[in-house]
A and B are shown apart, each in its own frame.
Chain A
Amino acid sequence: MRLVRSEHTAGWAFILPAVVLIVAFGLVPIVWALLLSFQSSDFVSPPKWVGLANYQALRHDPDFRAAIVRTLEYTAIFVPVVVLGGLGVAVLLNAKVRFISIYRTAFFVPVACSTVATAIIFNWLLEPTFGLVNWVLGWFSLGPYGFFQDPNQALFSVVLMTSWGWIGFNAIIYLAALQGIPGELLEAAEIDGASRFVTFWRVVWPLLGPATLLLVVWSSINALQVFDEIYVSTRGGPLQATTVVVYYLYEQAFRFFAAGYGAAIAYVLFVAILLLTLLQLWIGRRRVHYTS
């Protein structure tokens, strides 16, 4: 009995610091935020209980609705671009060619560039008058484009900016997955008479299923939460063209000091992310084959 009791003590002693921190900065805020969402607060005066008023307001808030649409548009473009882009890059990088490690570095290094720094660079690259991109596009008789300054192009420009680092990130994961596929399987397929297309579609792609599911879920979650780059480049504009949900949240909570409203937005976002993730996992579980 003494041994058992000491194991209880040891166990709890080991986890206590972590548990305290996670309760204090995880669980408590999660519950608090829920409560806050039913209150009206400006961070200073005592909060007032308003029941579902915040959520009702959100339902009828045209700016919030617009933010949702923006976020979904962004996600719908971002996810395929970075997942398929990452796959393409990984296939290209899956070789033992000379200089391959240099090529890999070139594609991976953007991952180390922070969101803020990336936004500043792209502000400059996509500058309508002096930017490099418009100059290059000019060679092909394209543009010049307004990019971040054109309400119709701003969101796409954000995708361009954020996918620069994310394609590399996804490529790292896809590359690891590709290298996990035994070359013998591809040889067996070649001998079985499968063309390149059939081999990729019927053998490689299914075996990449787990990685694809992970990246789709991860990229979606990330897309729904996009903020940093938008703050640094467009500040939600021009004309709210890039005001996504988290940006709207930030404005409401920390510009207009509507803490309760902000908490409600956060919870809506949470539920949305949860539902989307569950949906994707459900679809994925049924169609993805796990090899171990």
Chain B
Amino acid sequence: MSEHTVQVPVAEAGVEGVWRRFVPSPRHALLLPLALVMLTPLAWMLMTSIQTPDEAMHFPPVLPSGIHWQNYTDALHAAPFGRFFFNTALVTGACVLGNLLLCSLAGYAFARLRFFGRDVVFVVILATLMVPFQVVMIPTFIIMKDLGLIDSLGALIVPNLVTPFGIFLMRQFFRTLPIDLEEAARIDGCSRLGTLFRVVLPLSGPALATLAVITFLYSWNDFLWPLIVIQSDSHMTLQLGLSTFQGAHATNWTLLMAGNVMAVLPMLLAFLLAQRQFVNSIAAVGVKG
């Protein structure tokens, strides 16, 4: 048999291979250049961040000759990136935890409990999703001012401790779980809260992960609200701090890129390490829509 086996290229066989009709082969010929183009902005940012100012301002552009760490130390001196990072981590951490807890509680109640006004309240909550942030930001700013929370991390955390979307997500998920387990827990003497924490949440990994990722992405990259509410350096988040940094050093490209790398690195790393989770979460949200 082996004598007359023809050497065929590794073909995409089976049912998945049917998609190859739509892309001229080899696929790589298209994918590779496009992928490189997609990566160019990040690559160029990285390269500029390790160049000397002379190298960077050289036209035509040149590759870095070595690693000019000075840019990074300068950036760290110019702006408290460590502080920015800390603030952002605190705010984002609080928002993620808050959402996980509060959206689970509320989502569970809307999914499984029967109480007066349940459906009306749920619809009203969902309706607030329709209203864009720009509408609520001015009054919320006034509220924060009146509460004396302007320029504090509290102003960033409190309004974002729970989101209607998160409640919707958890409710939809809980409804897909078989109710038998919860009924068995109740019969075993578990309180409703206990059922939620001991039986339901352990089974809710995917939904909780999705909620965490979406909240993380949103909170970490939020810009407009911190811009409005935070004024002093010590309370700035990473995005706001980065923007202010850019305002102060607009044409110092090497310095700017070094700062940019530091600001972008945490999220990039998180994404690369947990790419599957990120992608699945985004896709899951797409399905719900």
Contact = CB atoms under 8 A, between A and B. Distances in A.
- Direct contact, A vs B (beta carbon within 8 Å): yes
19 contacts: A11-B116, A15-B121, A19-B121, A25-B143, A29-B139, A30-B136, A95-B16, A95-B19, A105-B272, A117-B264, A132-B40, A175-B283, A186-B19, A232-B246, A250-B224, A253-B138, A263-B135, A266-B138, A270-B135
Given A10-B115, A106-B39, A132-B40, A120 B270 contact: no
B38 interface: yes
A137 to B, nearest CB: 12
Interface of chain A: mostly helix, strand, loop or mixed? helix
Given A19-B106, A25-B143, A120-B257, 9 more contacts: A10-B113, A11-B115, A97-B12, A108-B279, A114-B239, A115-B223, A120-B260, A168-B38, A172-B279
Nearest to B48: A124
B102 A30 contact: no
A213 to B, nearest CB: 9
Top 10 closest A-B pairs, CB basis? A11-B115, A183-B15, A14-B109, A112-B271, A173-B286, A29-B136, A29-B139, A176-B283, A32-B139, A106-B35
B6 interface: no
Contacts of A110: 38, 41-42
Contact of A26 (B116, B136, B220, B243): B136
Interface residues of A, number: 106
Contact of A11 (B118, B124, B268, B287): B118
Interface string A104-139: 111111111111111011111101011010010000
Interface stretch (A66-74, A75-83, A223-231): A223-231
Interface residues of B, number: 104
Contact of B138 (A24, A36, A104, A112): A36
B81 interface: no
A105 B271 CA distance: 9
Contacts of A187: 15, 18
B72 interface: no
